[in-house]
């Protein structure tokens, strides 16, 4: 709400959170290659912890731990629900969880494929119609193994993507939502059997956009929940018991305010589409009402990928602006960062830039502006002519603290102190001020150990 009287103007210059803000939002980090590699694991977790993240997300690939994963024949006398039957298959995950716990980081396990060939319909690949009963047994074993160490779970990574679950369509109609419903319910039963039924269990983990090969996330939602195009639930389907809806709201090089013409797509700039869909699903009795959203995978692609990437300074700005959008939605319970270090730009056997350039470091290890921007995100939101709202976060702060806002006008390289702001107990701050259109900003924060950190240059931006 814009201030209209002098007292409101004065109050707006100090800490103020938007009425609809997600004030309990936490941050998770995903660095799959680094955490699996023992030579990188500790240093990467040290960085994740120092940057102020609260949790890590780990994909537990079924075929990484199952015996004979490329055989058509199920191993004889194999009790898939018994953790001991997997030998040392869980060793890597045990090491990751132990290292994360030592640093006070929570762990989200995404139980996912590929499946062992012997647990699929064809027996010749890892994604075609995985057997729900076998998946339930795997979830039981995994839950039992990590019952005391993991308390938040999600089921299957991007099940609306053909490289992770097949078939996506049959006769032109979405098929993957039906397959996923069986897999989700199976995993839920498995976690219940292992004593993890009271943990937080998330559904969906969907990718953001659809096409003729990929089921769009809201079309997937309706199929999974047995809803028609008007969100009426089929009487033959029961209510899905889930604690939250996981989604990956990646955007394009057009930035966080990009809006896809397909209204079943959900990028960071169209989170309200997902909020409304969940509300309609809740009203139909398909899920609990007020279902929270967990943005469990997200990042901004940067150069050197010049097809979908943006300049490094823009990556930092877009990442902060995306978090600002998520913070403004009270249903969002978690935001995330995908990758500490960029993927190999020339992967063996792959095409150039076929991986992700969303990391805070380049593939060679050089820090990008987004590295400091993750520690100290700052947004300068021009909400009216001559008016700017400064929003940000001292992510590593342990309790209330103070940040300094610096500014430079036009093309000047001279930075001056604009103001000092107090944060809330979680490190967030917000202030509305008058400002010229060409002003740039930075945030500076001194940690408890006396180290002063400074965020990257932030441009003033306006929502379209």
Q: From the first residue on, what is the mean pLDDT of each consecutive set of 10 residues in the chain (464 residues)?
A: 34 42 88 97 98 99 98 98 98 99 99 98 98 99 98 99 99 98 99 97 99 99 99 97 99 96 98 99 98 99 91 98 98 98 88 90 98 99 96 98 97 95 98 94 98 97 90
308 CB-contact burial (10 Å; exposed 0-12 / middle 13-18 / buried 19+): middle
Cβ–Cβ under 8 Å, residues 180 and 132 = no
d(CA 395, CA 376): 6
Which residue intervals of 37-147 are DSSP H helices?
A: 38-50, 62-65, 91-102, 132-145
What are the structural domains, with CATH classification, of the chain? 6-14+381-461 (2.60.40.10), 31-297 (3.20.20.80)
d(CA 81, CA 79): 6
Cβ–Cβ under 8 Å, residues 353 and 305 = yes
Q: Beta strand 440-446 with 452-454: parallel, antiparallel or unpaired? A: antiparallel
229 CB-contact burial (10 Å; exposed 0-12 / middle 13-18 / buried 19+): exposed
Cβ–Cβ under 8 Å, residues 155 and 202 = yes
Residues contacting 359, CB < 8 A, separation 6+ = 299, 339, 340, 341, 342, 343, 368
Place of tokens 């001991």: 84
Written as six digits, the tokens of 464 are 């379209």
pLDDT at 1: 34
From residue 170, alpha-carbon distances to 68, 113, 167 in Å are 30, 21, 7
Note the pTM of the prediction, 2 decimals: 0.94
In degrees, rounded to 5, the angle at the alpha carbon of residue 383 between the alpha carbons of residues 378 and 387 is 85
d(CA 322, CA 328): 10
Place of tokens 């993240």: 53
d(CA 245, CA 202): 6
pLDDT at 308: 86
Which residue intervals of 340-427 are DSSP H helices?
A: 369-375
Cβ–Cβ under 8 Å, residues 129 and 120 = yes
């Amino acid at each position: 709400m814009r201030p209209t009287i002098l007292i409101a103007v004065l109050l707006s210059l100090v800490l103020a959170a938007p009425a609809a803000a997600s004030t309990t939002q936490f941050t998770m980090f995903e660095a799959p290659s680094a955490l699996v590699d023992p030579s990188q694991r500790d240093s990467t977790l040290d960085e994740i912890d120092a940057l102020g993240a609260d949790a890590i997300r780990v994909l537990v690939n079924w075929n990484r731990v199952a015996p004979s994963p490329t055989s058509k024949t199920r191993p004889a006398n194999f009790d898939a629900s018994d953790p001991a039957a997997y030998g040392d298959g869980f060793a890597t995950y045990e090491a990751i969880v132990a290292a994360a716990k030592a640093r006070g980081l929570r762990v989200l396990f995404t139980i996912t494929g590929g499946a062992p060939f012997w647990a699929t319909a064809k027996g010749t690949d890892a994604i075609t119609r995985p057997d729900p009963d076998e998946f339930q047994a795997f979830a039981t074993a995994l839950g039992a193994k990590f019952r005391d160490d993991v308390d938040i779970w999600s089921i299957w990574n991007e099940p609306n993507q053909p490289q992770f679950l097949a078939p996506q369509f049959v006769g032109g109609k979405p098929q993957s939502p039906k397959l996923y419903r069986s897999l989700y319910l199976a995993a839920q039963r498995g976690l219940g059997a292992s004593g993890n039924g009271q943990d937080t269990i998330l559904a969906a983990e969907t990718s953001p956009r659809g096409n003729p090969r990929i089921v769009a996330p809201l079309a997937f939602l309706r199929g999974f929940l047995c809803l028609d195009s008007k969100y009426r639930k089929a009487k033959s389907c029961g209510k899905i018991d889930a604690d939250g809806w996981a989604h990956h709201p990646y955007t394009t090089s057009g930035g966080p305010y990009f809006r896809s013409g397909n209204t079943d797509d959900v990028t960071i700039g169209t989170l309200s589409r997902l909020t409304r869909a969940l509300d309609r699903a809740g009203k139909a009795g398909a899920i609990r009402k007020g279902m929270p959203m967990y943005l469990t995978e997200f990042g901004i692609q940067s150069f050197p990928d010049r097809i979908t990437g943006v300049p490094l300074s823009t990556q930092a700005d877009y990442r902060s602006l995306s978090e600002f959008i998520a913070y403004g939605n009270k249903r969002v319970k978690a935001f995330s960062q995908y990758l500490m270090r960029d993927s190999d730009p020339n992967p063996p056997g792959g095409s150039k830039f076929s991986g992700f350039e969303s990391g805070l470091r380049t593939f060679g290890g050089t820090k990008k502006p987004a590295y400091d921007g993750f520690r100290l995100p700052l947004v300068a939101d021009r909400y009216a002519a001559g008016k700017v709202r400064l929003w940000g976060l001292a992510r590593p702060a342990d309790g209330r603290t103070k940040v300094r806002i610096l500014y430079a006008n036009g093309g000047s390289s001279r930075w001056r102190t604009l103001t000092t702001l107090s944060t809330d107990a979680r490190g967030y701050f917000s202030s509305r001020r008058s400002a010229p259109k060409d002003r740039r900003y930075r945030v500076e924060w001194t940690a408890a150990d006396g180290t002063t950190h400074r965020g990257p240059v932030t441009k003033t931006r306006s929502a379209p």
